[in-house]
Structure 1
């Protein structure tokens, strides 16, 4: 992981800890190219967490937005999820 990415995650963890009492609900938002395998990879990352997942395809159909509303135990667990799905080619985390 490069220095910029590391700094981003450190800052995100601080902000999450300042804004929340854990466990807390968190809304993950991603945009991925509309390919079944990529969408399934993101969805499966949240399989056993009781997440509410909403997917919407863009008007042109090239991209799909994925919203994941889920109870998370800590800021660290949120960052681990972002890192886990960051391996999906073309994913954008919002």
Structure 2
């Protein structure tokens, strides 16, 4: 999933620079940051996402869709700065069929 699909720019560098600016303006790092993802209910995909958070202290909430086809993940992770948030989004963005909210 390409995180810049819904943005007004198609340039990843511009998108992430803008995201960093917004994160730094609205968050007081270090802090717990809430990441939200929707993924097909596939244990392998879920494991791939969890691995991105291996070196981060986090709590996890997940919920299956009504028909069991998808799982929504809410991951509250302790991050040090906006760069770490962006790095996590970039790593999860490499996993196919993950929707980032």
Q: TM-score, normalised by structure 1?
A: 0.90
Structure 2 vs 1, CA of residues 30 and 5 (structure 1 numbering), >3 Å: closer, same or farther? farther
Cross-structure match for 2:81: 74
Determine which of 93, 96, 99 is the counterpart of 1:92.
Answer: 99
Structure 2 gaps of 5+ residues are none
RMSD: 1.8
SS at match of 1:84: helix
Q: TM-score, with normalisation over the residues of structure 2?
A: 0.84
Residues 1:4 and 2:10 aligned together: yes
Q: Which residue of 1 aligns with 2:20?
A: 13
Alignment of 1:1-80 (within 5 A): 4=10, 6=12, 7-80=14-87
Consecutive unaligned residues of structure 1, counting only runs of 5 or more, are: none
Evaluate the alpha carbon distance shift between residue 65 and residue 48 of structure 1 in structure 2; reply closer, same or farther with a 3 A threshold.
same
Number of matched residues?
94
Shift of 1:5: 5.0
For residues 16 and 67 of structure 1, the distance between their equivalents in structure 2, rounded to whole angstroms, comes to 18
